[in-house]
Amino acid sequence: MKEKITVTPELLKNEFIKLYGENSSAIKMFASPARINIIGEHIDYNGGKVFPAAIDKYLYVAIRKRNDTLINYNDLFFDGNFTFDINDNFVYKKENDYANFLNGILSIIKRHGYVFESGFDVLIASNVPSAGGISSSSALECGFAWAVNQTFEFNISRKEIALMGQQSEHEFMNVNCGIMDQYIIATAQENTAELLDCASITHEFVPLNLGDYRFVVMNTKKQRKLADSKYNERRSQCEQGLAILQQNGVDIKDLCSLSVEDFEKYGSFIKDDVIYRRVRHCVTENKRVLDAVEALKQNDLVQLGKLLYESHDSLKNDYEVTGIELDTLKEVASKQDGCIGARMTGAGFGGCAIALVHKDKTDAFIKNVQEEYTKIIGYEGGFFTCSSSEGVREL
């Protein structure tokens, strides 16, 4: 990976021209945001409700049609200049590195019957920390899918783009993810978060009125190993829990159809302690999401913050996806002046946490948490404040 600078769309466009040359047909530019999940973790694949927001950190895509059927991919930061042909049969290959995300999208779009009249050149650059838990990969998939959609005028809806991104993760990348990341990145609106019902795949925009508070993103900068396989393992543990309940006559189609009261009644059917705790997390987290949205609507930010802490604890103790780095960030954050809530965000096993912090205290907060984190973990984390952004768009 090359040295990281903050990239602007102008810079990317200039680099595109240097790389692929000037010519008459227009270069199109797209911005695709990262996301935080405010609350509702690991329940999108259990028919739950989740509450993410797109944020003002972007991946940019520059694209231009070619006169032949070739495809060129380049990334400003990642090594690798990849050339394919639009008529190729795209399959995952380890050596194709980041190009797999793009080929995955192309394979799905083609499978849905869309026909490319030509190839194209692409240059990508991202300000989203990679593998950092704020969905750098979905920003890439959805940003690229939207860029292709607009360039070739396919008229694919934003929801379809999200579903294709998810399908590509499942079939091409072998990660059994839920729909949350792709959906929020494809459909977000500025100044809102989205209450996404993952059972019906419908959403409600909720104004993100944080008053004097701001979300601070805290990156563990931990190298994530085996995160995908642990993710798939959690998912299959949930499937086991659901099967046990159904075999015992509990009439539910997914874990999040179970209320907290029902769980108290039927939970004892699950004898395996690990599976029991996984299910308890899903059921209680789903309730916390609804309570958090209600708290936000009532402008009760202290209650929202309390639910963030509770969510983290459940992910730590019941779902076991946090680890020392994320736990340290949450613990240290919770002791700082002006912080009213903190939790891990995204898949976990490293990646990022978020904290809700008074706007006048964010600088001191970042300084103190950085110091403490470095002392305990042995290397620095990454920190920035963010605000809510719209979804993927043409510039």
Q: Contact positions toward ligand GLA, by CB under 6 A?
A: 37, 41-42, 44-45, 177-178, 180-181, 346-347
Question: Beta partners for 384?
Answer: 217
DSSP 388: B
Provide, rounded to whole angstroms, the least separation between the CB of residue 324 and ligand GLA: 19
Nearer to ligand GLA, 42 or 280 (CB): 42
Q: Which of 44, 181, 254, 327 is catalytic?
A: 181
The nearer residue to ligand GLA, 123 or 347, going by C-beta atoms, is 347
Question: Token pair for residue 207?
Answer: 């104004």
Please, which residues bridge with residue 42 across strands?
none
Angstrom distance (rounded) from CA 341 to CA 296: 13
Give me the least distance between CB of 116 and ligand GLA, in Å please: 27
85 belongs to the catalytic site: no
The two tokens of residue 89 are: 């049969």
For ligand GLA, the closer CB: 134 or 366: 134
- Count, residues in the chain: 395
Sign of CA dihedral 42, 354, 36, 310: positive
Cα distances (Å, whole numbers) of residue 161 to 133, 158, 200: 21, 5, 16
Residue with tokens 């499978």: 111
CB of 224 closer than 8 Å to CB of 136: no
Terminus-to-terminus CA distance in the chain, angstroms? 26
**What minimum distance in Å lies between the beta carbon of 312 and ligand GLA?**
13
User: Smallest gap, in angstroms, from Cβ of residue 183 to ligand GLA?
Assistant: 9
Contact 262, 250 (CB under 8 A): yes
Measuring CA to CA, which residue among 15, 53, 8, 52 is closest to residue 31?
8
Closer residue to ligand GLA in complex, CB, 23/174: 174
For ligand GLA, the closer CB: 132 or 341: 132
CB 345 within 8 A of CB 50: no
CA-based nearest residue to 118, from 66, 73, 166 = 66
Residue 146 or 349: the one with the smaller Cβ distance to ligand GLA is 349
Catalytic (active-site) positions = 181
